[in-house]
Amino acid sequence: MLKETIALYNKVRDARASLEKQASALKDKEEELKASMLAELNAVGVDSISESGYTIFKKHNIRAEIADHASLQEAMYQLMTQAKAEGRPLQDGLLLQRTVAKTTVIDLIASRLGLNADEDLDVNAQNTIDEANKLGIRLVDKIDVSIRKK
């Protein structure tokens, strides 16, 4: 019984590995095609375009990375001390989850820059970069392409 189960397991594992390899190759090709479409959007200077019944548009995926642990720790200490002094929960000053709490960081930077809640934060602006650096954070704006059928 165990011998047959092992043989079946090996067959399933090998089939899965083969499919994952094919999927990886397809994902690489998909990324290559998306990069080509993004280059085309950039070449014509637009953020979106309609073509053949589809709309192709740029999509920003912003994430926050720890750029300087010491600065981040100091910033969190200051924010948590301020929260405690104001009678708020310490978690109000905590900028980490499993990863950096992107929305909290963006809201904090926007607030420090005097932006209203409905104003967009330009993550590539030098004043935004400077504020992020003070927190020990690097905001990464990865521009991707999305396609949807009309």
Q: Which helix (H) or strand (E) holds 24?
A: helix 2-44
Co-location of 101 and 139 in the same domain: yes
Residue 134 contacts residue 64 (beta carbons within 8 Å) = no
Q: Are residues 13 and 67 in the same domain?
A: no
Provide the token pair at 11: 């067959």
What three-state secondary structure class fits 141? strand
User: Quick check: is 50 in a domain?
Assistant: no
What distance in Å separates the CA atoms of residue 105 and residue 116, rounded to the nearest whole number? Answer: 15
Whether residue 65 sits in one domain with residue 37: no
User: pLDDT per residue over 82-99, tens digit each?
Assistant: 999 999 888 888 887 667
Alpha-carbon gap, residue 140 to 137, rounded angstroms: 9
pLDDT tens string 40-94: 999 999 999 998 999 999 988 888 888 998 999 899 899 999 999 999 888 888 8
Is residue 80 in a domain?
A: yes
Could you tell me how far CA 52 lies from the centroid of its own chain? 30
Whether the full predicted model's pTM is greater than 0.95, yes or no, is no
Q: Which domain holds residue 105?
A: 60-145
